[in-house]
């Protein structure tokens, strides 16, 4: 099957006060129509940069796509003109941003903001676009959609704002939908509703979904396949069941151990020591070495490659050598 979105060896750099740093170092991902790919990792691992690069939203300067390929339905996006990217955003690929209050315009009603995207890509009248916007608000489960369409973002709850973002993202039925932490700061019942809504939209529209999250619970709920990111690299990739049942990389194991479980003793809840290192301090070896109990001199000196092991690919010397 030909991937709908195919990212190959993507490298993104930024000019900083510390010099040029590499934010993405050879990232390769793909997602097929009707499939959900989960991209998981802590803040600072490169998940959102991957999404922004795919959308053509990396600020240049200080950022730069230094290498690699991003193909959407066979069309190369790296090097595409700004006009071409504007035409594709919303129509072919869309993104649900992490925080609706910083993504929605506070001085326009939510109905007008959805209608604007529809008018831009579908070339319909303002009246028709607003009616379609109301229908979309109804479609994503917002009560009294005709009234809510005339509300401003601050008049809506967090869950309703997130539904508005989803309505805007799917307004032109994009082929690929990128959801960047779509349930951040929402309570668990609203999170479940948002995931159900994304699943329903995927069934109806056949879209490919890239779900960016730090939550392995969300991965178990939504994803067909999982790519684990750390310090700008993919360090493990497989089906969701394989990663959750047979995690290879110590970092993936740590993320899974951080999931609270009913009936588990409080002292059994684990944490990953330390934090993701600043990009300008990355050395020649494995970026996870300083946080890993299995690290040795080779781990600190030689960067591991993403290669197949017993179950699926992982970038870890300890796994390769059978030490874990």
Q: With 0-12 CB in 10 A as exposed, 13-18 as middle and 19+ as buried, what is 67?
A: middle
- Listed in sequence order, the residues at least 6 apart from 80 whose beta carbon sits closer than 8 Å to its beta carbon are 56, 88
What pLDDT is recorded for position 262?
Answer: 52
pLDDT grade for 263, boundaries at 50, 70 and 90 = low
Domain for residue 50, yes or no? yes
Phi first, then psi: give them for residue 27, nearest 5 degrees.
Answer: -80, 130
Q: Is residue 296 in a domain?
A: no
Q: Are residues 75 and 120 in the same domain?
A: no
Token pair 């193909």 is found at 71
Domain containing residue 242: CATH number: 3.40.50.300
Give residue 264's pLDDT: 55
Q: Which of 251, 195, 186 is nearest to 219 (CA)?
A: 195
Task: Considering only residues 61 and 40, tell me which one the structure prediction assigns the higher pLDDT.
Answer: 40
What is the secondary structure of 142-159 as a DSSP string? -SSHHHHTTS-GGGS-HH
241: tokens are 């069941």
* Same domain (yes/no): 230, 112: no
Residues 70 and 193 grouped into a single domain? yes
Check pLDDT > 70 for residue 90.
Answer: yes
Asked whether residue 289 is assigned to any structural domain, the reply reads no
Pair 120, 163 in one domain: yes
| Alpha-helical runs (H) found in the chain | 47-55, 82-88, 100-103, 110-122, 126-139, 145-148, 158-169, 188-205, 216-222, 240-245, 250-257, 297-301, 317-320
Residues 155 and 192 in one domain: no
Q: Is residue 293 part of a domain?
A: no
Mean pLDDT of the chain: 90
Structure-model confidence comparison of residues 193 and 316, the more confident one? 316
More confident position, 90 or 232: 232
CA atoms within 13 A on the CB side of 140: 28
Handedness of CA 191, 144, 153, 205 (dihedral sign): positive
Of 309, 3, 311, the closest CA to residue 320 belongs to: 309
User: Residue 278: which of 287, 270, 269, 286 has the closest Cα?
Assistant: 287
**Helix, strand, coil content of the chain in percent (nearest 5):** 40, 25, 40
Percent of the chain with pLDDT over 90: 62
Classify residue 59: in a domain, yes or no: yes
CB 57 within 8 A of CB 48: no
Q: Are residues 196 and 78 in the same domain?
A: yes
Q: Are 142 and 158 in contact (CB under 8 A)?
A: no
In a domain, 26, yes or no: yes
Residues 6+ apart with CB under 8 A from 69: 6, 7, 8, 9, 10, 76, 78
pLDDT band, very low/low/confident/very high, at 128 (cuts 50, 70, 90): very high
Task: Determine the Cα–Cα distance for residues 293 and 278; give it in Å rounded to an integer.
Answer: 20
**Residue 247, domain member (yes or no):** yes
- Residue 9 pLDDT > 70, yes or no? yes
Tell me, yes or no, whether 226 and 115 share the same domain: no
Report the alpha-carbon angle 37-58-163, nearest 5.
Answer: 50
User: Considering 173, 202, 218, which residue would you say is the last residue of a domain?
Assistant: 173
Same structural domain for residues 145 and 10?
no
Would you say 36 and 224 are in contact if contact means Cβ atoms under 8 Å apart? yes
Same domain, 140 and 70: no
98 and 242 housed in the same domain: no
Judgement on whether residues 59 and 197 belong to the same structural domain of the protein: yes
Q: Which residue has the tokens 């005709």?
A: 146
Per residue in 235-247, pLDDT tens? Answer: 999 999 999 999 9
141 and 67 inside one domain: no
Each residue's pLDDT tens digit, 196-222: 888 888 988 888 999 999 888 889 889
The residues facing 210 across adjacent strands are: 37, 178
Question: What range defines the domain where residue 203 resides?
Answer: 5-83+176-278
Number of domains in the chain: 2
Report if residue 310 sits inside a domain: no
- Choosing from 173, 203, 226, the residue where a domain stops is 173
| Domain-ending residue, one of 141, 173, 205 | 173
């Amino acid at each position: 099957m030909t991937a709908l979105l195919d990212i190959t060896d993507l490298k993104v750099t930024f000019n900083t006060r510390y010099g040029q740093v590499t934010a993405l170092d050879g990232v390769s991902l793909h997602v097929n129509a009707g499939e959900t790919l989960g991209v998981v990792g802590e803040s600072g691992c490169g998940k959102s940069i991957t999404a922004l690069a795919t959308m053509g939203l990396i600020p240049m300067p200080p950022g730069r796509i230094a290498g690699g390929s991003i193909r959407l339905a066979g069309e190369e996006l790296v090097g595409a003109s700004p006009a071409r990217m504007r035409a594709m955003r919303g129509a072919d690929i869309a993104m649900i941003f992490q925080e609706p209050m910083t993504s929605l315009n506070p001085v326009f009603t939510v109905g007008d903001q959805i209608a604007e995207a529809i008018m831009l890509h579908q070339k319909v009248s303002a009246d028709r676009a607003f009616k379609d916007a109301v229908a979309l608000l109804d479609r994503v489960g917002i009560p009294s959609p005709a009234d809510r369409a005339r509300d401003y973002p601050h008049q809506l709850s967090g869950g309703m704002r997130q539904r508005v973002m989803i309505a805007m993202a799917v307004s032109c039925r994009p082929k690929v939908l990128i959801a960047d932490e779509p349930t951040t700061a929402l309570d668990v019942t609203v999170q479940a509703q948002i995931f159900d809504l994304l699943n329903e939209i995927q069934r109806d529209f056949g879209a490919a979904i890239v779900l960016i999250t730090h939550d392995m619970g969300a991965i178990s709920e939504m994803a067909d396949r999982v790519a684990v990111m750390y310090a700008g690299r993919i360090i493990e990739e497989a089906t969701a069941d394989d990663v959750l049942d047979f995690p290879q990389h110590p970092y993936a194991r740590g993320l899974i151990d951080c999931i609270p479980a009913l009936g588990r003793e409080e002292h059994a809840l684990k944490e990953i020591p330390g934090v993701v290192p600043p990009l300008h301090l990355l050395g020649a070896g494995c970026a996870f070495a300083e946080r890993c109990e299995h690290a040795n001199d080779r781990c600190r000196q030689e960067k591991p490659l993403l290669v197949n092991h017993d179950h699926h690919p992982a970038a870890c010397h300890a796994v390769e050598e059978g030490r874990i």
